[in-house]
């Protein structure tokens, strides 16, 4: 996954179960906005990654794929360096969509961002 956005941003999945996905992301130059703080887009990328991975974990990976459909985020606190941790929990596990809540916190468990992401479950074309 090094050649994906996950690799570019340094996102690592640390735990994945049917009811929770946990991942971390460093706060450094690659995830900063021009003024040296964590970019809101990097937080959104972490949130959507966790929601997509959580959905992927719950679907038939041979015949279905997961795609982000909608995401929103509230950026609560800024961060200049260190690590943020995202925890995604499903609010809805449907047949064609899943909805995830993602809370991103710092090392002191202070809320940095809260997000909700809807992920589409799409049948893959058979080869």
Scanning the chain, the segments in alpha helix (DSSP H) are 5-9, 40-58
Per the CB < 8 A criterion, the answer to whether 84 and 104 are in contact is yes
Per the CB < 8 A criterion, the answer to whether 100 and 117 are in contact is yes
| Catalytic residue IDs | 48
């Amino acid at each position: 996954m090094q050649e994906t956005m996950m690799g570019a941003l340094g996102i690592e999945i640390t735990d994945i179960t049917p009811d929770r996905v946990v991942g971390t992301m460093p706060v450094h130059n690659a995830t900063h906005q021009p003024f040296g703080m964590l970019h809101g887009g990097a937080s959104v990328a972490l949130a959507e990654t966790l929601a997509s991975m959580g959905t992927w974990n719950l679907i038939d990976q041979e015949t279905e794929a997961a795609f982000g459909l909608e995401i929103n985020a509230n950026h609560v606190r800024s961060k200049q360096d260190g690590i943020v941790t995202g925890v995604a929990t499903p609010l809805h596990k449907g047949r064609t969509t899943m909805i995830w809540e993602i809370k991103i916190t710092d090392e002191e468990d202070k809320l940095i961002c809260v997000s909700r992401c809807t992920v589409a479950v799409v049948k893959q074309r058979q080869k």
